[in-house]
A and B are shown apart, each in its own frame.
Chain A
């Protein structure tokens, strides 16, 4: 169970991102979206006393981050990596500043209301993840919408020619990606940590990006990849508890190391959406 819990944060973000990338948008700003959502999930849960409202706020904030990116990426056709990097800076700076302004730098422990759990450490958000993996797979591969969305990431001109609007499909893809990474951020704060700390996402957004590549842009592949990372993440506590004679930093690096090695071994393969990262309409001459 703890493996699934650790996996779910990366898993949610990577699941959404696989939809986004299928539509042709690479959301480098996952990390910034997650940390911003974590912060607001914590604030809303703290002031309302309800973790559920906190989770909803996290999703809403995630979607807002998505719209902000969409304005620059889809409307102004700005470079996706540049916009995403700016969003990451914004999220890190904004949450750090707000947190320090409100709670000071003392690192006091807040008693944030946590999501209720049942059975062996299960909770509703965790179960929803498993359900969503199925729904997203179905939506991507069994519906007309999914076909059009995937085509927008492969060859948007053809999508336009058959009467769909590629930019609208990409906006939907980016929104799914942002909403789920917002949910991931909210779940990290309210379901796992029960607190907020500056930079608490610690690169999980980037690990999620790597897992989308490793999972070959397929929701089930991405799910498997995320579980593997969750395993590495939970292993560090287990191995440290058993006092294995290796420096603790090695175990902390394990998920990142695994993600990198996996990318090196697996490469990008041929399943990458052909128009990933390219603006639409394409720049003349490119």
Chain B
């Protein structure tokens, strides 16, 4: 409980500090952020839709990291999910429109999961660290995005580098035509509950956490850490891919160069600050969703809005590490 309170206070301080350092009046800046994030129904809806990809990718990162697999390729997996969704949309919509949404979501989960599983396999069998392979995959997927929206998936007029727009009937339901809130937000929350149940209540989740904490222990107890870690990567990537297709079906309806907004990157600190716990990730995704939604209000007055969020995240992660680690180092002083 104390740790949660500390994290909240720390995050608040990180925001204020960053605002001051970059010469934004903190009272005015915070006011603008709060107004942009929760001032009216538009703000609240914006917070919810920004938090959605952060939550899904954050859950993906959580599963991977809890199994000891540093998946930092969430961005590439998110984009691959979106691209796969767009490709499947092109194939399935003319054939069976009723199945389109579900097959878009499922295929994005599978394709991104396979990509991440490859990275997992590389670490387990070939000793190539996930950190490096998933990052390299990010760059490859981004180039693939740039190519597909100019090549095979380009809209029929071949004018702009983007895909055909999905018909509204296939998009996630919106509750109010004026705001962005879509039913995908609830998909993400349901997934969070599922991930929590899987990690905390099932034998599989227990084994996964054991593998992540002490791989050698898992190995000598014949828990098959290799398979567990590859599966963890598959699910981790799958959730990041799902985030991509949820945004595709919920927000944009078409994929272009701007599809990569850094959600997969932002989700890493979201997961860390959520304590790598699914419910913590919900809270932390909501916080950063609000910060991003509010930051849009800020950037109207100041050109520095968007990149500031990265700084705030980095300061928050380092501050969190400082408080968590300082206690432990004191308990067991260096020899």
Contacts and interface: CB of A to CB of B under 8 A. Distances in A.
Contact of A89 (B151, B214, B269, B329): B269
Contacts of A76: 321-322, 325-326, 329
A2 interface: no
Contacts of B187: none
A93 interface: yes
15 contacts: A72-B321, A72-B322, A72-B325, A76-B326, A93-B309, A93-B312, A97-B311, A202-B139, A206-B136, A249-B143, A249-B146, A256-B140, A264-B126, A268-B128, A281-B335
A86 B269 contact: yes
A194 interface: no
Contacts of B315: 90
B4 to A, nearest CB: 19
A40 to B, nearest CB: 16
Nearest to A106: B303
B276 to A, nearest CB: 10
Contacts of A101: 22-23, 303-304
B268 interface: yes
B87 interface: no
A83 B314 CA distance: 9
B312 to A, nearest CB: 8
A171 B146 CA distance: 41
A116 to B, nearest CB: 33
B186 interface: no
A76 B307 CA distance: 28
A65 to B, nearest CB: 12
A261 to B, nearest CB: 10
Given A85-B72, A101-B304, A96 B140 contact: no
Interface of A: 28, 72, 75-78, 81-83, 85-87, 89-90, 92-94, 96-97, 100-101, 104-105, 160, 167, 198, 202-203, 206-207, 209-210, 213, 247, 249-250, 252-253, 256-257, 259-260, 263-264, 267-269, 272, 281, 284-286
Q: Summarize A's interface: helix, strand, loop or mixed.
A: helix
Interface string B121-140: 01000111101110111111
B308 interface: yes
Q: Summarize B's interface: helix, strand, loop or mixed.
A: helix
A-B interface, 8 closest residue pairs, ranked by CB to CB distance from nearest: A93-B310, A268-B127, A96-B307, A90-B314, A76-B325, A93-B311, A267-B126, A249-B147
B138 to A, nearest CB: 8
A247 B150 contact: yes
Contacts of B150: 247
B54 interface: no
B139 A97 contact: no
B132 to A, nearest CB: 5
B84 interface: no
Contacts of B146: 249
A104 B303 contact: yes
Interface string B292-328: 0000000000011011111111110110011001101
Interface in B20-42: 22-23
Given A82-B317, A82-B321, A260 B140 contact: yes
A28 to B, nearest CB: 6
Contacts of A257: 140
Nearest to A99: B307
In this complex, which of A87, A105, A253 has the most chain B Cβ atoms within 10 angstroms of its Cβ? A253
B334 interface: yes
B307 A209 contact: no
B76 to A, nearest CB: 11
Interface in B51-90: 70, 72
A250 B147 contact: yes
B68 to A, nearest CB: 11
Given A85-B268, A209-B132, 6 more contacts: A83-B321, A89-B313, A90-B310, A93-B312, A100-B307, A263-B136
Given A105-B303, A268-B127, A286-B214, A89 B133 contact: no
Contacts of A104: 303
